[in-house]
Structure 1
Amino acid sequence: MKIVVDSHTHTLASGHAYSTIIENAKAAKQKGLKLLCTTDHAPSMPGAPHYWFFNNQRVLPRFLHDVGILRGVEANIVNVEGELDLPPSSYPHLDWVIASFHEPVFAPSTEEAHTEALLNVIKNGQADVLGHLGNPHFKFDIAAVLACAKEHNVAVEVNNSSLAGKSRKGSSDNCSKIVEIGKELGVSFTTGSDAHFCEDISNLSLATELFEKHGVQAEQIISTSTSRFLNFLTLRGKPVIEEFKEMY
């Protein structure tokens, strides 16, 4: 299975990552990626940048080392109402918004509370994708959330770092259930390395193995094609990115 988009990566700006966006793009080029989503942590995470960092991503070139750069964020789910930690002024500057639970921002609670928060995130319409859902500290009603994601055209990430046990240890079984149920529901999957160092860009082998285990076809994984990925963004109401027109 060929993956051409890494939809979850971090730079020095996140506060606990170790490479620049130029180093990440160079690694992406070397590994054969066509698009790279740069998705640093939003302001509520300790060490994360001010929201101006995200509003100013318009200064980034659309191509670095011949790899298309998608301007993004890993936003934090802050409450059961599904609010994220960016002001409304930020979203017009962003191509790709991941919404994730992080323990320092949203203390693990009950399955019911996690489920309510995720359903509200989806319905609020700001998130394009739900990040690293396999975290065992944030159990939720998988079928209910994935059905809602399908209905509202919100993607579901399979996070390679979670599967590797580098973070969110114990995620593998939950990720497997998410892929199994998501396949049957017809959700749109994406793949994120969650790289915090440039050498981990495009490290997605465990995610692809999980898709293959459950027989998920490439057509259901938007990161297998620039056209699938970019047209998913238009389905989400995002404008066509003129510099990427040949990739649609």
Structure 2
Amino acid sequence: MKFVIDTHCHTMASGHAYSTVIEIAREANNKGLEMIAITDHGPEMQGASNIFHILNQKVIPKTIYGVQILRGVEANIMDYDGKLDISDEHLQKLDIVIASLHEACIESGGLDNNTNAIIRTMENKNVDIIAHPGNPVFPIDFEKVVKKAKETGTLIEINNSSFISSRKGSLNNCIEIARLCKEYEVMITVGSDSHIAFDVGRFDKAIEVLTSIDMPEHLIMNFSTKRLTEFLKIKGKPRFSTITPII
């Protein structure tokens, strides 16, 4: 498996990460990546930067050390109706948007409420990826979520960090989610969820999950920058449309 994209990277702006955009890009280049997404936490995460920092990513060059840079965010799901901590007006200006459930921003509401939170989030056309859905703290109906992802054209993330340093107990959940994505032909993306540059492009445990269920390569977004940019164009991202550049 030749991964050329990492869709989930955090800088110091997240408040609990330890590298800069430049350091992440340099490490990505060292590892042969062609594209990375800068997806710092939304403003309701404790210690995260405010919305002005997120929007000012427009000053970040599109390419650093030969690596294409997507200016994005990991927005926090704030309630069971899928409300995010960033307005649609602001999300529309970014290249890529991840959304996820975090204990610091929302309490687990049980299987039904958690599932509804993610389903309603996927109904937001600005959301491109649901991150770490296998988190056992937030039980969900995997099949409903995967089917909704197919309906809405949302990517499901297999999060490498979930098997190393975060969200203990995610492995079996993620295997089942990946299996369902294979069954229903739902695209996935693999994210390192790196919080230090050295972990950018680290996909070792996620690869083990995908290999274990023989995930077809055509369902994995990380193998082609062209495929991802076409996806983002379809999703209406300004940078990849012919209408207007990102502002």
Look up the SS of the partner of 1:132 in the other structure.
Answer: coil
Q: What displacement does 1:231 show?
A: 1.1
Counterpart amino acid of 1:151?
E
Structure 1 CA distance for aligned equivalents of residues 120 and 236 of structure 2: 19
Runs of 4+ in 1 over 4 A off after TM superposition: none
Look up the SS of the partner of 1:6 in the other structure.
Answer: strand
Q: What displacement does 1:143 show?
A: 0.5
Structure 1 CA distance for aligned equivalents of residues 189 and 136 of structure 2: 20
Q: CA contact under 8 A between 2:92 and 2:238: conserved in structure 1? A: no
Match of 1:97 in 2: 97
Look up the SS of the partner of 2:123 in the other structure.
Answer: helix
1:25-64 matches, cutoff 5 A: 25-64=25-64
Structure 1 CA distance for aligned equivalents of residues 204 and 229 of structure 2: 22
1:171-190 matches, cutoff 5 A: 171-190=170-189
Q: What displacement does 1:240 show?
A: 5.3
State the Cα RMSD in Å.
1.1
Counterpart amino acid of 1:24?
I
Which string of whole-angstrom CA distances, capped at 9 and with x for unpartnered residues, describes residues 113-157 of structure 1? 001111100112221000011100101110011101111100000
Q: CA contact under 8 A between 1:58 and 1:93: conserved in structure 2? A: no
Which string of whole-angstrom CA distances, capped at 9 and with x for unpartnered residues, describes residues 75-127 of structure 1? 00000110110123312321110000000101112100001111100112221
TM-score (norm 2): 0.95
Match of 2:13 in 1: 13
Counterpart amino acid of 2:77?
I
Look up the SS of the partner of 1:104 in the other structure.
Answer: coil
Counterpart amino acid of 2:209?
L
Match of 1:158 in 2: 158
Match of 1:70 in 2: 70
Q: What displacement does 1:237 show?
A: 2.1
Q: What displacement does 1:230 show?
A: 1.0
Match of 1:131 in 2: 131
1:185-196 matches, cutoff 5 A: 185-196=184-195
1:133-152 matches, cutoff 5 A: 133-152=133-152
Structure 2 CA distance for aligned equivalents of residues 241 and 63 of structure 1: 15
Look up the SS of the partner of 1:90 in the other structure.
Answer: helix
Look up the SS of the partner of 2:9 in the other structure.
Answer: coil
Q: CA contact under 8 A between 1:10 and 1:39: conserved in structure 2? A: yes
Structure 1 CA distance for aligned equivalents of residues 88 and 135 of structure 2: 28
Q: CA contact under 8 A between 2:12 and 2:19: conserved in structure 1? A: yes
Counterpart amino acid of 1:150?
K
Q: CA contact under 8 A between 2:232 and 2:240: conserved in structure 1? A: no
Using the TM superposition, name which of 148-157 and 229-238 deviates more.
229-238
Which string of whole-angstrom CA distances, capped at 9 and with x for unpartnered residues, describes residues 191-246 of structure 1? 1000000000100111122111111121111111111111111221224538xxxx
Look up the SS of the partner of 2:68 in the other structure.
Answer: strand
Match of 1:246 in 2: none
Task: Give the number of aligned pairs.
Answer: 241
Match of 2:88 in 1: 88
Q: CA contact under 8 A between 1:71 and 1:93: conserved in structure 2? A: no
**Structure 2 portions without partners, runs of 5+:** 242-247
Q: CA contact under 8 A between 1:54 and 1:93: conserved in structure 2? A: no
Structure 1 CA distance for aligned equivalents of residues 16 and 237 of structure 2: 30
Match of 1:122 in 2: 122
Structure 2 CA distance for aligned equivalents of residues 142 and 195 of structure 1: 25
Structure 2 CA distance for aligned equivalents of residues 101 and 13 of structure 1: 19
Match of 1:245 in 2: none
